[in-house]
Structure 1
Amino acid sequence: MMRKGWKHVGAVALLGALLAGCASEEDSIQMAPLPVVQSEFTPAQLWSSQVGDGVGRYFSNLSPAVAYDKVYAADRDGIVSAMDLESGKTVWSVNLGEEAPALLSGGITASYSKLYIGTETGELIALDEETGELVWRTQVGGEILSKPLADEGLIVVNSSRGEISAYEAETGEQRWSLSSEVPNLTLRGDSSPVSISGGVFWGMANGRLGAAFIENGNIIWQQTIASPKGATEIDRLVDVDSTPVVAGSLLYAVGYNGSLVAIDLRSGRPAWKRTYSSSTDIMVAGSYLFLITDKDHVVAVDARSGTELWTNKELEYRQLTAPVAISGYVVVGDAEGYLHWIDPTSGEFVAQQQLDDSGIAVAPMNVDDGYIVVTRDGSISKKQTP
């Protein structure tokens, strides 16, 4: 099986991110110049800290977590730190990579008084949230490149070998596992599972969206989001790496070389479907749905009908993070370390700030009195919302 990082090819490529023989495509794709923005505000910094060396230039969705009045963050090599949410002071820090780099990946989930985090070597690790002490660790088999899900006393992970599996939150004992076919060529990344009302939903590398009962893993339905088409393997990529979003009775998902769809949760049938290609998480806010296309265009559609409302193409191939709503704005980070603030109704820029030049790999995270943002070099800070 061939798994290479092929996300946002040609735009300041991450280490190991290019496929052999694709140099011509790399040369033809250019990162858009930084838009000139007259910022209406500059958020104040409340505190800043450092967590190891960050993720560097590697592909990573290693997002922090906020719970128990703390911020939890990690670096790729294995340092995990807990910081006081109010002051930023380090409460504890442990190193899971003392003997060899731990290759932490996919993001931290805080639940059941524990932290759960996966690795590129296929380990699922549980730490005590109060002390950082190791509670258990278990081998999953494939890389865990997405954030684990905690629900119903279980930790559910989606691995790179097409297997979604559930483990007892207290012991790490496996409860159930489901496998799906993985194409020969896929994007580097996997959909994080989500849950509601006893069901778990996730995207697959074969272009499908799955639904199962979280208690036992029994399949409820599967829906095709993207179908292979085109002359080359790259054209036929159909990964559903974006995390599904549940809003009301609908579940929203998007596939690479596929569609943006709204699906009825009970029947699994599409309510509407529109042609978009993306592997980045989407955001639903009220009647708006925001997505980042494979070309890094920021798009707003009507969540009720799928009608496109606006498209901002000025950040093309700048390796954008998933969109997040902060103080009524749509905010995305980019590979040069800039945060871009966009008016959700018009798609026009409102403000812009550079945190540092190492880049931003994961979306900022909202907290009650501000937001948390992490850069690729491991710098973590809390900013005051405008």
Structure 2
Amino acid sequence: MKKLLNKALTTVAVLSVLAGCASEEDTIVMAPVPQVDNEFTASSVWSRSVGDGVEHYFSKLTPAYAYDKVFVASRQGEVTALNPETGDQLWSTDLEQDVPARLAGGIAAAYDKLFIGSENGEVIALNQETGELLWRAKVQGEVLSVPATDENLVMAHTSEGVLVALDQQSGEQKWAISTEVPTLTLRGTSAPMAVSGGVFWGTANGRLAAAIVQRGQLIWQQPIGTPKGATEIDRIVDVDASPMLMGSTLFVIGYNGQLTAIDLRSGQPGWKRTYSSATDLANDGSRVFLVTDKDHLVAVDARSGTELWNNKQLEHRLLTAPKVLGDYVVVGDSEGYLYWIDRSSGEFVSMQEEGSGGFAVGPILLDDGIVITTRNGNVKKLTLSE
């Protein structure tokens, strides 16, 4: 029974699993689309497609904007570079071989290269200028989050609880750190974050871990959640969200855990607040924004952890992680609606439908607009007009 349930939870997002269980059918209800008096509209500058996108799979393939290009990918293995002004294709590479590529997590850009992981247990490097395949490295477990880069290394966090560091030039493994993975976990892994010679990542056993990048030496682990409850589902404490840095403070959140502010160097918590989430955080320099496991959009004061506002009108709409774009917090939902929320008040400012495929990831910010990607592979640049 444990193996069957574990398999179910690692096939789709946990909320989708719970929503489909007979015992939860009457309690988990998606909120209706809110009525919003739009203060502005987002105009389409160009529209393209990248294969079939991620379809219905759990594959948070986040695009990247770097080297004056927009890089997008499909789960099947198509990686494409687009001109951010016109949307014209600059190059396209197909990474599918004898089996589907099953790309996941998103694209990291560094060292004049692109790095992307896969559910097949690979980290792949491409030349950012031409799309040429440079190397493919096998790792222990699926790579479901964006790799991190620092000190000429590429660091990927796998579903087996391994943080592995590869040489950015050759793909050769330099070190690996293993952490405990409970029998039952969420589908997903925390993307590592590298800064100041250290690398930080969330673990499946409810901790934030820190290591020295050059040596791969684990230096501390801080509990973010403690298993509680009678059932294995109740006791899930995954930290699947990536750590977020503001100044010298790390912010991290866990499922069935807490939003915690941690000193970067000592690893000691400054404050903790009870929120449960498996999605990445966002900030505007003074506030932290999060989407809870019930899809409540929340703002808290970064210094004290005091809740500033809580918008519950999108409950169970399967929201993307929040993104801060100018004066707004932006999220997408599973039905293809994109929402702009005033970051000071938590009130809706604008909303529009941008594709029936729905969103798995939020928009990325360009110099003069945003790029959105839908589950069915549509890629669109939007600009705001009053």
Q: TM-score range by the shorter chain?
A: over 0.9
Contact 1:8 1:317 in 2 (8 A): no
Contact 1:84 1:90 in 2 (8 A): yes
Distance 2:367 2:384 in 1: 9
Contact 1:369 1:385 in 2 (8 A): no
Equivalent position SS for 2:176: strand
Distance 2:190 2:308 in 1: 26
Letter in 2 for 1:205: A
Compute the RMSD of aligned alpha carbons.
Answer: 1.4
Contact 1:162 1:179 in 2 (8 A): yes
Q: How does 1:69-148 map to 2 (within 5 A)?
A: 69-148=68-147
- 1:66 CA displacement: 0.9
Letter in 1 for 2:138: Q
1:365 alignment partner in structure 2:
364
1:339 alignment partner in structure 2:
338
Write the deviation string for residues 167-206 of structure 1: whole angstroms up to 9, x where unpaired: 0000000111000110000000010000111010000000
Distance 1:167 1:50 in 2: 31
Structure 2: 5+ residue runs without aligned partners?
none
**What's the TM-score once normalised by structure 1's chain length?**
0.96
Are 1:23 and 2:55 matched, yes or no? no
**What's the TM-score once normalised by structure 2's chain length?**
0.96
- 1:304 CA displacement: 0.4
More divergent stretch after superposition (214-223 vs 299-308): 214-223
2:50 alignment partner in structure 1:
51
- 1:216 CA displacement: 1.1
Equivalent position SS for 1:146: coil
2:294 alignment partner in structure 1:
295
Distance 2:70 2:285 in 1: 27
Q: How does 1:1-386 map to 2 (within 5 A)?
A: 2-3=6-7, 4-5=9-10, 7-9=13-15, 13=16, 17=17, 22-386=21-385
Letter in 2 for 1:238: V
- 1:44 CA displacement: 1.5
Letter in 2 for 1:204: T
Distance 1:188 1:51 in 2: 24
- 1:98 CA displacement: 4.6
Distance 1:203 1:8 in 2: 17
Letter in 2 for 1:292: V
- 1:385 CA displacement: 3.5
- 1:117 CA displacement: 0.5
Equivalent position SS for 1:24: helix
Q: Kindly tell me: are residues 136 and 209 of structure 1, through their superposed partners in 2, closer, same or farther at Cα, counting changes over 3 Å?
A: same
- 1:327 CA displacement: 2.3
Q: Kindly tell me: are residues 371 and 19 of structure 1, through their superposed partners in 2, closer, same or farther at Cα, counting changes over 3 Å?
A: closer
Contact 2:40 2:384 in 1 (8 A): no
Distance 1:287 1:60 in 2: 31
Contact 1:311 1:347 in 2 (8 A): yes
Letter in 1 for 2:289: F
Contact 2:297 2:311 in 1 (8 A): yes
Equivalent position SS for 1:178: strand
- 1:328 CA displacement: 1.1
Equivalent position SS for 1:187: coil
- 1:99 CA displacement: 3.1
Distance 2:335 2:87 in 1: 25
Q: Kindly tell me: are residues 130 and 303 of structure 1, through their superposed partners in 2, closer, same or farther at Cα, counting changes over 3 Å?
A: same
Structure 1: 5+ residue runs without aligned partners?
none
Query: How many residues matched?
Result: 379
Write the deviation string for residues 65-90 of structure 1: whole angstroms up to 9, x where unpaired: 11111111111111111111111100
Distance 2:170 2:384 in 1: 39
Contact 2:19 2:25 in 1 (8 A): no
Contact 2:19 2:28 in 1 (8 A): no
